[in-house]
Amino acid sequence: MITIRGLKKWFDTRRGRVEALRGIDLEIGEREFCVLLGPSGCGKTTTLRCVAGLERPDAGEIEIEGVTVNAPARRVYVPTEKRDIGMVFQSYAIWPHMNVFQNVAFPLVRGRKRFGKELVAEKVRRALHLVQLDGLEDRPATDLSGGQQQRVAMARAMVTEPKILLMDEPLSNLDARLREQMRVELKKITRAVGVTTLYVTHDQAEALSLGDRVCVMHGGEILQVAAPDEVYARPANIFVAEFVGEMNFVKAKIAAGSVECALGSLELPVPPAFAAAGAVTLAIRPEHVELAAADGASGPLVGTIASKNYLGDAALVEIEVNGVTLLAKLPGDTEIAVGQRAAVVLRPERWRVFAE
């Protein structure tokens, strides 16, 4: 359990005050896998480092397992080494002067709770088994590949069986194929151990596949906290819509009972909050832009294919309709070609409406 309330952090620079966190409120439940997602500089790493105690917030409170670890207003600060956490760093931070065993055993031998020799050996063996590094105990840390270092870092973070696991872009230094493999494994391991996890990434695919909940951050604020499918299907605002997955945007005006835009008059359920706004932005995912043969029976919207980007399993097609360029995601084997005309079908329930 992690509870974050009104967390603020600022830096005073020569050009004035920079607010890194503008009041973060977040509750992470027991055994939950929560992902902080956002572009660089959004404050996700700062939030994580505050939870770790590596960074000290200027206002707000953090509770771990019911214990207040940060409350600057009350001068409460529990130093990192006294918090029941494990952490995996972006650079792995494998100590180069120790071998694999010594790295993983270090928290047990020098940490909060210390254990006898045999128990340490047993715990290290189990941790290395968990990350599939059995038998590499004596390997010097400097002789490990990137993927192996990543696993050692995992084992070291988990060996004390902490209640909380913190991960700071742990997969970003791996190459693409290995990253996907590790992503699947990481999910399995944390599930198996049942640890509460806070995970920072800027990679939306990683966030959607790993998280029980995804917390999208921007400019030191949380924009949306929800299950991955919810974030993808019902983004809270334009920024989330744009950052998570691809999205087509169309400017529109609200008229009585319908929405007017370059694509014509659309029959959409407009949330009452926007009815008074007048101007809105419409959004639709590329996979929801359907194309059909442009024969007489088709609907009113017909466009010309402007470009086609073949990706193997899919093809991304740009189609120009009434001066609007829409991106459509089609199956890879589509025979549609640049210059062809096609009818565009946009189902009303697929549209999302955002304030401008």
* Nearest to other proteins of 83, 285 (CB atom): 83
Tokens in use for 264? 């014509």
Residues 6+ apart with CB under 8 A from 29: 1, 196
* Nearest to other proteins of 156, 183 (CB atom): 156
* Nearest to other proteins of 57, 286 (CB atom): 57
Residues 6+ apart with CB under 8 A from 94: 103, 141, 144, 149, 152, 153, 156
* Nearest to other proteins of 114, 341 (CB atom): 114
24 contacts 225 by C-beta, under 8 angstroms: no
CA distance 220 to 59: 13
Smallest separation (angstroms) from other proteins to the CB of 285: 31
Smallest separation (angstroms) from other proteins to the CB of 84: 8
Smallest separation (angstroms) from other proteins to the CB of 292: 47
**C-alpha to C-alpha distances, 298 to 35, 294, 301, 302, nearest whole angstrom:** 43, 6, 8, 8
* Nearest to other proteins of 102, 281 (CB atom): 102
Tokens in use for 116? 């006898």
Smallest separation (angstroms) from other proteins to the CB of 5: 21
85 contacts 160 by C-beta, under 8 angstroms: no
Tell me which residue of 21, 55, 60 sits closest to 38, measured CA to CA: 21
Smallest separation (angstroms) from other proteins to the CB of 17: 17
Smallest separation (angstroms) from other proteins to the CB of 18: 14
**C-alpha to C-alpha distances, 224 to 30, 231, 284, nearest whole angstrom:** 20, 7, 19
Residue whose pair of structure tokens reads 């607010």 in the numeric block: 19
80 contacts 72 by C-beta, under 8 angstroms: no
* Nearest to other proteins of 52, 326 (CB atom): 52
* Nearest to other proteins of 91, 181 (CB atom): 91
Q: Which residues partner with 213 through β-bridges? A: 34
Smallest separation (angstroms) from other proteins to the CB of 215: 21
Return the biggest CA–CA distance within the chain.
Answer: 81
Binding residues vs other proteins (CB under 8 A): 45, 49, 52-56, 79-83, 85-87, 89-93, 95-97, 106-107, 110-113, 142, 153, 156-157, 160, 166, 169, 172-173
* Nearest to other proteins of 153, 270 (CB atom): 153
Tell me which residue of 57, 69, 81, 54 sits closest to 1, measured CA to CA: 69
Smallest separation (angstroms) from other proteins to the CB of 196: 15
* Nearest to other proteins of 15, 273 (CB atom): 15
Q: Which residues partner with 250 through β-bridges? A: 282
**Is residue 125 packed enough to be buried (19+ CB in 10 Å), middle (13-18) or exposed (0-12)?**
middle
Concatenated DSSP letters of 27-93? EE-TT-EEEEE-STTSSHHHHHHHHHTSS--SEEEEEETTEEEEEGGGTEE--GGGS-EEEE-TT--
Smallest separation (angstroms) from other proteins to the CB of 75: 12
